[in-house]
Chain A
Amino acid sequence: DQQVKQNSPSLSVQEGRISILNCDYTNSMFDYFLWYKKYPAEGPTFLISISSIKDKNEDGRFTVFLNKSAKHLSLHIVPSQPGDSAVYFCAASENAGNMLTFGGGTRLMVKP
């Protein structure tokens, strides 16, 4: 049973436009959510997180939106840059600091 799902395996976006990556979860006990970026042959790099008490968190070009009623979160990257091309994973936990449950990832390609 996949508790965190990223239904789009890949996404292609033009440089300068917005990239929107989506994530759905089924476990209503999840209350802390994170996004990671991963390049080949490297470990995941933390990007941004959000607690369930918020519906939006912003850090520079990255914004995460959380819709608890729909059990859905999204990552917006504006403007997208070629260096953003990587695999993006969303992750969730029951209480911050506990084990993470990851989605399957979305490969983002930003074309110059």
Chain B
Amino acid sequence: DTGVSQNPRHKITKRGQNVTFRCDPISEHNRLYWYRQTLGQGPEFLTYFQNEAQLEKSRLLSDRFSAERPKGSFSTLEIQRTEQGDSAMYLCATSEFDEQFFGPGTRLTVL
């Protein structure tokens, strides 16, 4: 499968714990995006990389959130001291040109 992959697919954690998600892009896609989707809403932009450079961050991305894309390939999104409000689907998308192609997402549940 050469699509965007995300791991884990599901994560259940207790409030206050740290979690890390991984996204592996379609090869040769130099742009990588993170979005968050809550129930009944459309995805909301979090942050965007071109190669290894983080070019844009949403104000939704509090200082508990950090994203990296070392070497411009896979990316990680870490949430520190999770809160119940962080429960959502975290989506990764990548693009080479105009269209963004999404992975299956990681569903986070914070108890």
Contact = CB atoms under 8 A, between A and B. Distances in A.
Interface residues of B, number: 26
A97 B40 contact: no
Interface in A52-107: 89, 91, 96-105
B95 interface: yes
B40 A96 contact: no
Interface in A1-23: 4
Contacts, number: 57
Contacts of A32: 98
Nearest to A87: B42
Interface in B44-101: 44-45, 48, 56, 58, 91, 93, 95, 97-101
A100 B45 contact: yes
Contacts of B101: 46
Contacts of A91: 42
Given A42-B104, A46-B99, A101-B45, 4 more contacts: A43-B105, A44-B43, A45-B102, A100-B35
Nearest 10 A-B pairs (CB), nearest first? A102-B42, A43-B102, A96-B98, A99-B45, A44-B102, A43-B104, A102-B43, A46-B99, A43-B105, A89-B42
